[in-house]
Amino acid sequence: MTTLLVIAKEPRPGRVKTRLTPPFTPREAAELAEAALRDTLHAVARTPASRRVLVLDGAPGAWLPPGFEVVPQCAGGLDERLADAFARCPGPALLIGMDTPQVTPELLTVDFADCDAWLGPAQDGGFWALGLAEPDPALLRGVPMSTPGTGAAQRARLTAAGLRVRELPRLRDVDVAADAHAVAGLAPHGRFAERLARCAPGLPR
Q: Is the pLDDT of residue 75 over 90?
A: yes
174-197: pLDDT as tens digits: 999 999 999 999 999 999 999 999
Say how far apart CA 192 and CA 201 lie, in whole Å: 14
Question: Which residues touch 84 (CB under 8 Å, ≥6 apart)?
Answer: 55, 73, 74, 76, 137
**Are the C-beta atoms of 73 and 81 separated by less than 8 Å?**
yes
Question: Which of 66-75, 76-85, 163-172, 191-200 is least confident?
Answer: 191-200
For residue 189, which amino acid is it?
H
Q: Is the pLDDT of residue 134 over 90?
A: yes
Say how far apart CA 81 and CA 66 lie, in whole Å: 24
% of the chain exceeding 90 in pLDDT: 96
Q: What class, spelled out in words, does domain 3-198 have in CATH?
A: alpha beta
140-162: pLDDT as tens digits: 999 999 999 999 999 999 999 99
Helix (H) or strand (E) holding 131: strand 127-132
- The whole-number pLDDT of residue 200 equals 55
Q: What is the DSSP string of 20-34?
A: GTTTS-HHHHHHHHH
Q: Is the pLDDT of residue 172 over 50?
A: yes
Q: Is the pLDDT of residue 202 over 50?
A: no
Q: What is the mean pLDDT of residues 40-54?
A: 98
Can you name the residues that pair with 120 across neighbouring β-strands?
A: 129
